[in-house]
Amino acid sequence: MRLIHAAADLDTSESFEDGELDGIFANHPPDLAHVPYSCYQRYNDLEMIERSKSFYEQLNKRRTVRSFSNEPVNIEVIENIIRTAGTAPSGAHTEPWTFVVVSDNEIKELLRNIIEEEEEINYRKRMGAQWTTDLKCLRTDHIKEYLTTAPYLILVFKQIYRIESNGRRINHYYNEISTAIAAGILLTAIHNAGLVALTSTPLNCGPKIKSLLRRPNNEKLLLLIPIGYPGKDALIPDLSRKPLEDIAVFF
């Protein structure tokens, strides 16, 4: 890999957390070929309007679900969902994500034990009155039955840096933003496949979960997402979404 001299003002404080930067190395060859965008397909205005409207209407049916069926899901579906998430853009095309898929019941039980132990403390004293008050309408508490009921858990890790075979660490730019974008595409793919999901951020659980799943030092847990079919009697909060005029500004 070609060595590139480091810029004197390079800021690596947000990307590296364990030790110093090990020099600056190209993530891809500087002479990487650029090829025609032959797979692009253009639509006329009417087609674009119809496609964009149809896609919005489909995604507007997506809801966060906390009650899952234990009905199995074909692993090929999960693999395709993750492949789709892996198409996300990333800083300098470093693809700084790892998707850990858990279907093993014993590991799911261990994850649930870790998370419920910490969540009991979170709800009791760490989160504070305002946070717990805001969650009351969602009827959530420290009990996370879905962790052992859902057929799959996908744990999304961001890679702070890449570790080369010689132990050298290579910077991953915008690793959290890039991984968050991939997670958004993951959720879209889950809904498109006809499944449901819950986005969760296990507070104060990262180190224990990382140890359980034997993840390397360059990774940090970003999200834990149960995936499956909704439970037979699944309920969702009767919430609405902000209208366009409240989320967009046009100039």
Q: What is the mean pLDDT of each run of 10 residues along the chain (251 residues)?
A: 32 41 69 94 98 98 96 98 98 96 98 91 78 78 90 98 87 95 99 97 92 96 98 92 98 98
- HSE-CB at 61 with a 13 A cutoff on CA atoms is 12
Terminal CA-CA length for the chain: 45
Integer Cα distance of 102 and 195 in angstroms: 16
Partners of 226 in beta bridges: 153
**pLDDT of amino acid 235:** 93
Candidates 129, 122, 118; CA nearest to 212 is 118
Full set of structural domains in the chain with CATH:
73-231 (3.40.109.10)
Q: What confidence score (pLDDT) does residue 1 get?
A: 34
pLDDT of residue 86: 99
- DSSP E strands in the chain: the ranges are 3-4, 24-25, 97-102, 152-159, 161-163, 169-171, 196-197, 219-228
Chain length of the chain: 251
Alpha carbon separation from 118 to 52, 65, 121, 215 (Å, rounded) = 42, 21, 5, 20
Helix (H, G, I), strand (E, B) or coil at 52: helix
- The reported pTM is 0.86
pLDDT at 136: 79
Distance CA 228, CA 69 (A): 7
Predicted local distance difference test score (pLDDT) of residue 53:
98
Confidence (pLDDT) at 89 = 97
Residue 109 near residue 146, CB atoms below 8 Å: no
CA distance linking residue 65 with residue 225, whole number of Å = 11
Are 154 and 179 a contacting pair, CB within 8 Å?
Answer: no
Characterize the bridge pairing of strands 97-102 and 152-159: antiparallel
